[in-house]
Amino acid sequence: MKKIAFYLMAAVVLFTACDNEIDKSDFMYEPAPIPVTGVTLNHEVDTIALNSVISLEATIAPARASNKDVTWSSSNSEIALVNENGGVSAVGVGDADITVTTVDGNKTAVCKITVVKGFLVTGVKLNLKEMTLIVGEDGYLKPTIEPENATNKFVTWSSSDETKATVASDGKVVGIAPGEAIITVTTEDGEFEASCEVTVLRPVEEVRITLPGSTAKLEEVELQVGQTITIATHVLPLDASNKELKWSLEPSIEPNSFTMSFDEVRGELTVTRTHASGGLTVTVTSVDGGKTAVCDFISLDPMILLAGKESKAWTWDEKAPLVFGNGGYLSDTAPGWWGQSAGDLDQMEGENKGAYMTFSSKGMTLVKTRTNDTKANGTFALDMTKTKMNAGGDALWSIGVLDTQDVTVLVGMQPNNDKAPVYHYDILRLSPRNMVLAWPEEGDGGGAWSTCWYWMFGAK
């Protein structure tokens, strides 16, 4: 055991002596240098004013390159001088290339400098910060370059969303679709920017009163006592920007003929008839553009429809393409062969556009007021039991009869019989706002499709 211990001690002493004689630097690791692969400048092209100074910045690639030293040079020191830090001084008018070169690898980048005798741009403004357009409309943005005497006033335009609004090189902005876009102008000199926020709207084109879930127009409702109906609205186009609506209710004759409730969340009106004689007009108006839709809850009393509670005036229905003319008996329900519009009507003096007739339920009187300040007076009778089926026999063609005495309706004459007066009329339609009358030229004995004359009236 003693001999083994001695040998171990001798080995330790020998190793320690050798360790003191080794140079530790022989075992240190030095990483290899990272070479430069390229260099870029913050400007490739620039225009500067005479006697001005700009700074160019060089970016070495890769960012971890070991040696980022560079040198600077000018292709024409009579135009532009450059110092060791990339500062460029414009000393003459003309062009010069400023080159940066890396010490490691001789990589280069160039900025083409144009020196002009003038003034640099310091900013830009637009005449509007906000603009609102309708789809399809246009507006103009006008840039103001600062200073006013800047030499280079060239600008470029851009839109943040060309699906909403586009901009042309002259600052013309066009609304494409509902939404928003930022229109930006950028100066060529200095790349200064100014922006305008453009809002594009789609206007309301039409409002309809409908049944819930439907898009079909609902213009008249014939509601029996005790019956209930719910009406809704439909705004077109579907992507209209502002669909806000205002409702108005105008009861006629009997103000307590209906009970109503309005669901503000669903935008629906529920109406129940409680009295037979009353009528109700519902009007919906769009806040945007004032577009309206009207629905009449028709009174069940034909005398009230014709003459009101006391009186009611009727004139030519200017919404109808033709207000007087002929068509087929028991088949047509308006002039279909020949006719005249309200503006063209010339059959009887003073009874054209602007003339009107007043039916009074008290006394059953009819007064015709002409445009030449003359009047005609008489009486009338209404019989809603005399109806006629259409030529096919599958639906009512007329719903009643109107007889007049001592006076006719406007242009109540026979065109093919020396304008002889007509005092007997079939009623094809009678609503709060429209009345259609007809008279068969052959009398009641005329066959289907024989000549029949039509009068189209609207409530005044």
User: What pLDDT score does 6 carry?
Assistant: 39
Q: Show contacts of 208-211: CB within 8 Å, 24+ apart.
A: 208/233, 208/234, 208/235, 208/236, 208/293, 209/233, 209/282, 209/284, 209/293, 209/294, 209/295, 210/234
454 and 308 belong to one structural domain: yes
User: What pLDDT score does 103 carry?
Assistant: 96
User: What pLDDT score does 60 carry?
Assistant: 96
150 and 227 belong to one structural domain: no
* Beta bridge mates, 193: 186
339 and 453 belong to one structural domain: yes
- Residues 6 or more apart whose Cβ sits within 8 Å of residue 208: 215, 216, 217, 218, 233, 234, 235, 236, 293
User: What pLDDT score does 118 carry?
Assistant: 79
Residue 149 lies in a domain: yes
335 and 406 belong to one structural domain: yes
User: What pLDDT score does 116 carry?
Assistant: 86
End residue of a domain, out of 299, 333, 350: 299
pTM surpassing 0.85? no
Q: How far apart are CA 243 and CA 286, in angstroms?
A: 7
Residue 17 lies in a domain: no
CATH code, domain with 295: 2.60.40.1080
Residue 16 lies in a domain: no
Residue 12 lies in a domain: no
Residue 423 lies in a domain: yes
Domain count, the chain: 4
Closest C-alpha to 374, from 358, 355, 360: 355
Pairing type for strands 138-140 and 172-175 reads: antiparallel
- CA distances, 62 to each of 42, 178, 269 (Å): 16, 46, 72
391 and 324 belong to one structural domain: yes
Question: What region does 393 belong to: left with phi over 0, alpha with psi -120 to 50, or beta?
Answer: left
86: domain range? 38-116
138 and 210 belong to one structural domain: no
229 and 191 belong to one structural domain: no
User: What pLDDT score does 11 carry?
Assistant: 40
User: What pLDDT score does 299 carry?
Assistant: 76
User: What pLDDT score does 445 carry?
Assistant: 64
Q: Which residues of the chain have pLDDT under 70?
A: 1-29, 252-255, 443-445
End residue of a domain, out of 299, 333, 362: 299
Q: How far apart are CA 9 and CA 16, in angstroms?
A: 11
Residue 28 lies in a domain: no
277 and 247 belong to one structural domain: yes
Radius of gyration of the chain (CA): 46
Residue 29 lies in a domain: no
Closest C-alpha to 196, from 144, 241, 152: 144
Residue 388 lies in a domain: yes
349 and 443 belong to one structural domain: yes
Q: How far apart are CA 155 and CA 124, in angstroms?
A: 10
User: What pLDDT score does 28 carry?
Assistant: 61
359 and 286 belong to one structural domain: no
Q: How far apart are CA 363 and CA 456, in angstroms?
A: 25
User: What pLDDT score does 444 carry?
Assistant: 61
337 and 453 belong to one structural domain: yes
Q: How far apart are CA 380 and CA 425, in angstroms?
A: 11
**Omega cis (within 30) before 237:** yes
312 and 422 belong to one structural domain: yes
End residue of a domain, out of 266, 299, 332: 299
